[in-house]
Amino acid sequence: MRPAKAVIFAALGDDTRLALIAKLSGGLPSSISQLTAGSKVTRQAITKHLRVLQQAGIVRCSRRGRESLFEFDPAPIQGIIEYLDVVSTQWDHALARLKSFVEK
């Protein structure tokens, strides 16, 4: 089952996690060391943030030897964008009808 949208939105509502997504969205799986490099945030904090992203289904984790590798999964975010697109299209239709209604 897909994570609820609220979980996905909550996972996205943090600057450190958005920065992690930006790093991972390049497509290459990265280790915690690679993700911590150049960041002021501690390894423990990064690990915690990655767990949140994992629970939301935005990040997948796989093992290579002793190392955990983290990879970006765009599907949950794509789902939200598509949903809002549907709502957006319906408002476009409703407002077009309002326009012809008040302008006639």
Partner 1 sequence: MNEIYSDRVEKQIELQASVSRVWGALTDSNEFGEWFRVKMDGPFVAGQAVQGHITYPGYEHLKWEIVVQAIEPEKLFSFTWHPYAIDPKVNYSKEIPTLVEFRLEKTESGALLKVTESGFDKVPAERRLLAFRMNDRGWAEQMKNIEQYVAQKA
CA 67 – CA 69 distance, rounded (Å): 6
Segment 13 to 42, residues that bind partner 1, using CB under 8 A: 13, 18
Report CA-CA distances (Å) from 90 to 77, 86, 95, 102.
Answer: 20, 6, 9, 19
CA 95 – CA 35 distance, rounded (Å): 46
Which is closer to partner 1, CB of 37 or CB of 96? 96
Question: Which region, judged by CB under 8 A, interacts with partner 1, from 9-17, 22-30, 36-44, 58-66?
Answer: 9-17
Binding characters for partner 1, 59-98, by CB under 8 A (x = yes): ------------------x-xxxxxxxxxxxxxxxxx-xx
Give the shortest CB-86-to-partner 1 separation in angstroms. 5
User: Are 17 and 52 in contact, with CB atoms under 8 Å apart?
Assistant: yes
Element (H, E) at 67: strand 67-72
User: Are 70 and 59 in contact, with CB atoms under 8 Å apart?
Assistant: yes
Give the shortest CB-73-to-partner 1 separation in angstroms. 15
Q: Number of residues interacting with partner 1: please give it, by CB under 8 A.
A: 35
Enumerate binding residues for partner 1 (CB under 8 A). 2-6, 9-10, 12-13, 18, 77, 79-95, 97-103
